[in-house]
């Protein structure tokens, strides 16, 4: 026994020495450098010199060569973690039930099901007529459809009212430009008629032959045109029924839950407008519901002979609910149903024949309010902690007393619940299984704490960790945030995150300004000329976590993606000394140049979020925080930056330029890595297991910085 133990110790030491040797070897690799070609960019009398502007050309072979050299450098520098990446991948995958299926939902005579089969990356969409015991009808086996494609995304499945036809969109490049197809569900034949460059979504009129859809501008990818297509005809003959000419707006089309109206929506960050048409008369003319007024936001739902409107009309910052007759839709006819409340954000409504369900947010927490139309019932669903997420889902049927909602928390896997609004009884239809036999939610603890920002505001932070940790400053901690567009990151369960928690990590979600966690004003205080609050909130949360000894600068890590990647870029410029490592995914870091180029996808629609730098005031403010423009000669943390060559949201050249400039100026010897997925875009890989590999890659980078190799 002693001999065997000695061999084990020797083997462990030898393995440790090998890992140390591999790390030292990795450090000897020379990082790639990008050629500097100065380009002068002048605006408002201010001159910026961009030495890496030339990377803005994915057709340039030298650009591709540079990205591939960066990928090669990443591979060499992380070769010693290849085993860890694979272990993490297998570990996370082993917790996921491969032969899984969704909770069936009933709509228009059929139960619809999404399921996965063992070993396959993509879903199978099916339905059963009338009963779950009926024979399964396969709508789409995406695994077969995706064969031969490195990227494949099917979305927008839209079945005609007579259940005979289905329209759907496919993207095989990851630029979010979908081609629409129509399939005959009786014969299984896919029509030869195709409609290119769409959003992937569509809606049928009630005649079962007329399809409305949204086209994108080929260059900017702005959703700007609504077309009417007649099944069986060439799409070149489709009729344009609406064009959104205001470049700060986008448009979309849908049908009300009542199936009575087709609706065209137009929206910008601050303003919305809708047009309606009876779904029985698809060749009629859409009429404006309420003309757009800058700053007026509203959304509409149809019930009976009224429309119900969630709106910020008359200064209702947190929104209120109003209604109006379908024959008199302009705002002077709107009547109040639920008044505005200063501390409660009205997020959405679900309408049923006998009930109205209101989704609210109070002090950051999701609440679901059930109200009967006859006034006899008015109550809230009970939820009993501060780190949960609850939301309504798949409530497509109108004449039902069952509300379907989802619930999960930082320690509890997601559940789908059917709630009887009449009897107030609930049935858990499904709770996500965590396989492997090692997970027990009793082993984990979550809580909400409040950090004080430099201006005195209290910033909520959701934490999760294994029970029994000591607050001695030695805990590794990963801090995450997004903080833009009013998008709220609610506390949610993650099977992948267990791989960090079980290795001693604390995970923190910082609910910074720029999201709507504490209501609409929380968002307003983190945009435009108040955008820096998002960044300082994140930094102040980090300082608080360090002060309270949850962690220390040697063990603190940060991550964020897209606009959250902008947050990462701003934070490492402001307070690089607080972090040992940062993961910035598809980061929006070249803010000034991008916002000055209205040919880039999505730019014009972003002016109300960031400001229009054609205005000198916004130009100077954006320039003062834009990560790329504020890289200086100083020490930066260890950093992993990821992007996709075909990204339509944040163009690949932003992170590529940022990394090139960081390489040029940073004064430390910390690791800086750029990884470009040459076959994907903003959302990364399309298969569910390929996506896990990306998570394993990011986790391996963080664990390696922490000295954890197993």
Query: Which of the following is catalytic: 682, 686, 698, 709?
Result: 682
Residue 19: CB partners within 8 Å, gap ≥ 6?
80, 709
Residue 501: CB partners within 8 Å, gap ≥ 6?
444, 464, 465, 466, 507
Among residues 62, 60, 75, 83, which one has the least CA distance to residue 29?
A: 75
Query: Which of the following is catalytic: 171, 350, 629, 647?
Result: 647
Q: Which residues of 496-508 are buried (b: 16+ CB within 10 A; e: fewer)?
A: bbbbbbebbbbbb
Among residues 465, 469, 454, 553, which one has the least CA distance to residue 513?
A: 454
CA distance 63 to 79: 24
Query: Which of the following is catalytic: 446, 562, 648, 686?
Result: 562
Residue 682 annotated to the active site: yes
End-to-end CA distance of the chain: 25
How many Å separate Cα 138 from the centre of its chain?
29
Q: What are the angstrom distances between the C-alpha of 468 and each of 71, 170, 504, 546?
A: 40, 48, 10, 18
Q: Supply the DSSP string of 21-52, one letter for each residue.
A: HHHHHHHTSPPP-PPP--EEEEETTEEEEETT
Residue 57 annotated to the active site: no
Residue 51 annotated to the active site: no
CA distance 578 to 553: 5
Are 129 and 137 a contacting pair, CB within 8 Å? yes
Query: Is residue 190 classed exposed, middle or buried when 0-12, 13-18 and 19+ CB atoms within 10 A define those classes?
Result: middle
Give the DSSP H or E segment for 214: strand 210-216
CA atoms within 13 A on the CB side of 482: 13
Q: Which residues are marked as active site? A: 562, 647, 682
């Amino acid at each position: 026994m002693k001999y065997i133990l000695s061999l084990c110790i020797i083997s462990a030491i030898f393995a440790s020495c090998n890992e140390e040797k591999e790390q030292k070897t990795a450090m000897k690799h020379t990082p790639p450098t990008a050629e500097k070609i100065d380009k002068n960019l002048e605006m408002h009398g201010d001159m910026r010199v961009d030495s890496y502007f030339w990377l803005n050309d994915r057709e340039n072979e030298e650009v591709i060569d540079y990205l591939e050299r960066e990928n090669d450098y990443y591979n060499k520098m992380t070769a010693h973690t290849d085993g860890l990446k694979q272990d993490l991948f297998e570990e996370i995958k082993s917790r996921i039930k491969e032969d899984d299926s969704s909770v069936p939902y009933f709509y228009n005579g059929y139960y619809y099901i999404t399921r996965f089969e063992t070993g396959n990356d993509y879903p199978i969409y099916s339905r059963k007529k009338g009963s779950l015991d009926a024979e399964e009808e396969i709508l789409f086996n995406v695994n077969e459809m995706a064969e031969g494609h490195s990227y494949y995304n099917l979305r927008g499945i839209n079945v005609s009212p007579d259940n005979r036809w289905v329209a759907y969109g496919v993207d095989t490049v990851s630029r979010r430009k979908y081609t629409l197809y129509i399939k005959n569900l009786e014969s299984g034949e896919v029509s030869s008629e195709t409609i290119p460059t769409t959003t992937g979504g569509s809606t049928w009129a009630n005649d079962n032959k007329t399809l409305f859809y949204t086209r994108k501008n080929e260059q900017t990818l702005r959703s700007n045109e609504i077309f009417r297509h007649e099944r069986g005809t060439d799409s070149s003959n489709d009729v344009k029924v609406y064009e959104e000419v205001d470049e700060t707006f986008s448009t979309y089309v849908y049908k009300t839950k009542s199936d009575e109206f087709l609706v065209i929506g137009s929206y910008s960050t601050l303003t919305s407008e809708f047009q309606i048409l009876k779904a029985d008369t698809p060749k009629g003319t859409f009429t404006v519901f309420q003309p757009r007024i800058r700053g007026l936001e509203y959304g509409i739902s149809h019930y009976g002979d009224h429309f119900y409107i969630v709106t910020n009309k008359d200064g209702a910052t947190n929104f209120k609910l109003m209604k109006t007759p379908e024959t008199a839709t302009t705002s002077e006819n709107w009547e109040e149903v639920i008044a505005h409340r200063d501390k409660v954000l009205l997020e959405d409504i679900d309408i049923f024949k006998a009930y109205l369900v209101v989704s609210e947010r109070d002090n950051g927490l999701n609440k679901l309010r059930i109200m009967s139309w006859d006034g006899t019932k008015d109550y809230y669903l009970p939820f009993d902690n501060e780190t949960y997420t609850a939301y309504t889902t798949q409530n497509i049927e109108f004449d039902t007393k069952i509300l379907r909602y989802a619930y999960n928390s930082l320690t509890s896997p997601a559940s789908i619940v059917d709630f009887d609004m009449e009897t107030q009884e609930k049935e858990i239809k499904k709770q996500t299984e965590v396989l492997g036999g090692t997970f027990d939610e009793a082993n984990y603890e979550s809580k909400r704490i409040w950090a004080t920002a430099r201006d005195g505001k209290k910033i909520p932070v959701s934490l999760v960790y294994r029970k029994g940790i000591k607050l001695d400053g030695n805990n590794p901690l990963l801090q995450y945030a997004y903080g833009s567009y009013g998008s709220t990151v609610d506390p949610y369960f993650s099977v992948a995150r267990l791989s960090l928690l079980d290795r001693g990590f604390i995970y923190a979600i910082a609910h910074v300004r720029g999201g709507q966690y504490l209501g609409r004003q929380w968002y307003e205080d983190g945009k435009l000329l108040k955008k820096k609050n998002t960044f300082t909130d994140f930094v102040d949360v980090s300082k608080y976590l360090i002060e309270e000894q949850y962690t220390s600068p040697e063990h603190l890590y940060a991550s964020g993606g897209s606009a959250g990647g902008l947050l990462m870029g701003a934070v490492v410029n402001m307070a690089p000394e607080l972090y040992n490592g940062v993961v910035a995914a598809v980061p929006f870091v070249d803010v000034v140049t991008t916002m000055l180029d209205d040919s880039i996808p999505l730019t014009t629609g972003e002016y109300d979020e960031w400001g229009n730098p054609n205005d000198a005031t916004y130009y100077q403010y954006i320039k003062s925080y834009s990560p790329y423009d504020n890289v200086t000669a100083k020490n930066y943390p260890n950093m992993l930056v990821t992007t996709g060559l075909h990204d339509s949201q944040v163009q690949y050249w932003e992170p590529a330029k940022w990394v090139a400039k960081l390489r040029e100026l940073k004064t430390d010897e910390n690791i800086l890595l750029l990884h470009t997925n040459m076959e994907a875009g903003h959302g990364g890989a399309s298969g569910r297991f390929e996506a896990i590999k990306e998570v394993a890659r990011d986790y391996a980078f963080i664990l390696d910085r922490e000295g954890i190799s197993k």
